[in-house]
Amino acid sequence: MKHTHRDPLELTVNTEKIVCDGLKRKYESFHISPIWKANDYQLENPNLHWCAISTTMTGCNLRCYFCSTTPHRDYPEKYGRFFTPQEATSEIIRLLDRYKNILCVDFSGGECLIGKEHLLKVLNILFYEKRIKQVTGVLTNGIILGNDKSYVKALSTYPNPQFYVRIGLKAGTSEGLEQRCGAYGKYYELPFKAIKYCLDYRIKTVVFAMTDARIMPEQERKILLENVREIDSSIRVQEERFYPYPDAVERVKESLGVTSECT
């Protein structure tokens, strides 16, 4: 079954109407996740069982068929509940108070940058009212930031390197974005622009990419890595593998009829 191609900027606007109500934003969960490579953070005790607080927001502006996110991505009207910025930060602080081995706070989804005013308010409270010490990051596909430099500028006000932006590249070509993400191919350059804008504003920027050979052709992988090198040759792209989580497998089966090849 082929993707229905969508305009991701239009989908951003339409999704925001569902997942935002004034300053309130829909969340699926606030939970604790293990950190498997804690020694990458150069900790005094990397052998301690370090964890992250993961805040999962509903809704997204892409429809990647390899996505492992639960159905709240496609049906945000059916999942999650609304939190004010104060309520969301209270959930985070509650977990920080309960667990003493929290290394970082991650905002993800879905696309957590949908709902700009809510997210900025939450970050303001965490950094400037609660003054948390944990590394804090937002996980994004880069579509919004590549289209809105003012959003990047707003994020640049948070402390570096405590705050970071993690940009996930899904495609290296317009064809790849259409085939695997259900978006009009002309927008494939926006995530690369997002990387450049974040670096221009001196935001700590982490780049990862779904380059698994079962998902992305090798020639496209080379194009993607070269595009990143042209922005900044010092960036080390974290290349991801496809893991057969149940929701991801169902999406792959629906889109490609693939089963055993992705297990």
pLDDT, position 43: 45
pLDDT of residue 247: 79
At 169 the pLDDT is 98
Distance (Å, rounded) from C-alpha 45 to C-alpha 162? 19
pLDDT in tens, the chain (263 residues): 445 789 999 999 999 999 999 999 999 999 998 875 554 444 445 555 678 999 999 999 999 989 988 889 999 999 999 999 999 999 999 999 999 889 999 999 899 999 999 999 999 999 999 999 999 999 999 999 999 999 999 999 999 999 999 999 999 999 999 999 999 999 999 999 999 999 999 999 999 999 999 999 999 999 999 999 999 999 999 999 988 878 778 877 777 655 444 44
pLDDT of residue 246: 82
Residue 25: strand pairing partners: 20, 83
pLDDT at 253: 78
pLDDT confidence of residue 48: 53
Cα→Cα distances 17→21, 73, 106, 132, 219, Å: 7, 14, 23, 31, 38
The domain tally of the chain equals 1
- First-to-final CA distance of the chain: 20
Structural domain range at position 176: 8-37+46-262
The pair phi, psi for residue 172, each rounded to 5°, is: -110, -5
**Residue 3 falls within a domain, yes or no?**
no
Q: Which residues contact 45 (CB under 8 A, 6 or more apart)?
A: none
Q: Is residue 2 part of a domain?
A: no
In a domain, 92, yes or no: yes
Long-range Cβ contact pairs of 243-247 (< 8 A, separation 24 or more): 243/68, 245/68, 247/67, 247/68, 247/69, 247/70, 247/71
The pLDDT of residue 211 is 97
Cα gap 91→252, rounded to integer Å: 34
Is the residue at 217 inside a domain?
Answer: yes
- pLDDT of 34 reads 85
> Has residue 78 been placed in a domain?
yes
For residue 209, what are the β-bridge partners? 169, 239
CATH code of the domain in which 159 resides: 3.20.20.70
Q: Is position 1 within any domain?
A: no
